[in-house]
Amino acid sequence: MKVLFAAAECVPFVKTGGLADVVGALPKTLIEKGIEVEVILPFYSQIPDKYRDAVEHILDFKIKMGWRHVYCGVKKLVLEGVTYYFVDNESFFKREGLYGHWDDGERFAYFSMAVCEIMDRLSIVPNIIHVHDWHTAMIPMLLVHKYSWMEPLKNIRKVLTIHNLKFQGIYNPIILESCFGIGMESFVDQGVKYYDKVNFLQGGIQYADCVTTVSPQYAEEIKTSEFGETLDGVLRFNDWKLHGILNGIDTDLYNPATDNALFDNYSDKRLPGKYRHKQELQKLLGLEVNPNIPMIASISRLTDQKGFQLVSAVLEPLMQREVQYVVLGTGEYEYESYYKEMAGRYPHKMSARIEFDASLAQQIYAASDFFLMPSAFEPCGLSQLIALRYGSIPIVHETGGLKDTVEPYNRFEEKGTGFSFNIFSAEVMMHMIDEALEVYRRKPAYTRLVRHAMRQDFGWDKSADQYIDLYKSLM
């Protein structure tokens, strides 16, 4: 079986969110299980020089976009057993950021067509093409309406994974002719037509042979008006091909026993290293150095989706408790400025790093005792999985993948892996934080909870088997 992944980002090359982690880790596990997997990505200027310098230029040609003929270079790199292809066009991919540009529709229309034409030109035709999110969601439509005349591409089965339904790629219908160079045959309700616009993600849902989400709970939630982002009707119509498969994490990369970013390594059997590391991070962040003070952490985009309206509402009363709070991330200005202000008012109890630093993130996961993640909605979430791996007990809102992965703690039976609340309110969340702190004060019970959390298996092995079964069913 041969599978081609097409995506907008992938670690270790570029990353803005969990999509990159999935596209970076899942192919490696599939290859270990005997599946032939290749990955195709844009050749962004943000890709580190050590990878840019290592690629091999193998092909260039022109892609017809409407009335234009646009350059397409193809580069290749084999890394850790995975073959990567990169689509090179500086006018589209030499930008300040990966997304948020006025011509994103044109950029990813180009990339989607490049993927299709590269498959034919390089004879890397897979049994399955696995596309991710709106950036590549039009590839299934293109294989039906634009490239069906290419004999080698006719029998490719098409899988779309939705990592976050909120982002859909909605554009003026003129894009079908001016960029994709096709007519209006796909501009129908059971195609890409979304009111009077073209919706890339809707097109992927309609034309893919199978649609997956990144957790079983999210697959159910998005069929409702509350979480469906106005596509709930389309998803209910396509319910027969919708599957929820839980994301995993790279357990080699996220391993407190070997993580070079930590001041001291540890495992579930050797916890003292965690508390030595905690004291070093307290020094680094200017907090009171005391391993017995519970440290709560959040590593996230600072947005309403991630529940920071709740965090802001309880931050002042939280600072009155014997606790430390560490937040790392960037996002909406009101949260950035408020957390910096609060860190200034409580310098020995709170640290706000308004940035993203991967090494510091690892250090915070390892040092913290609790991980606060009150997302309003969460397709899967990787942060809570990493937190569990490092022995930072999650405090989460019961939604999406958070509900699938965090087992509520039962203080009487001492079972569970974290603390969760099902009503999205600051008051309820604060009550759950207090419950967590009460367990922390019962040291033997808390230590058993940490050890149990660290022993959970959220690697990719089980999920990869589910993807393989899905691929086989399509073939």
Separation between Cα atoms, residue 357 and residue 371, nearest integer Å: 17
- Cα torsion through 323, 324, 327, 332, rounded to 10: 60
CA distance 387 to 371: 7
Calculate the CA 171 to chain-centre distance: 24
DSSP state of 323: -
Q: Would you say 223 and 232 are in contact if contact means Cβ atoms under 8 Å apart? A: yes
CA 221 to CA 400: how far, in whole Å? 7
- What are the distances in angstroms from CA 195 to CA 172, 184, 443, 467? 11, 14, 57, 33
Tokens of 196: 């009077």
Residue 278 annotated as binding? no
Contact between residue 310 and residue 374 where contact means Cβ atoms under 8 Å apart: yes
Q: Coil, strand, or helix at residue 90?
A: helix
Is the Cα dihedral 38, 42, 43, 46 positive or negative?
Answer: negative
Q: Which amino acid is at 153?
A: L
Give the Cβ contact number of residue 310 at 10 Å. 23
The single-letter code of the amino acid at 389 is R
* Both structure tokens of 70: 């646009």
Angle at 30 between CA 125 and CA 43, to 5 degrees: 60
Binding-site residues from annotation = 15
Binding-site residues from annotation for ADP-alpha-D-glucose = 15
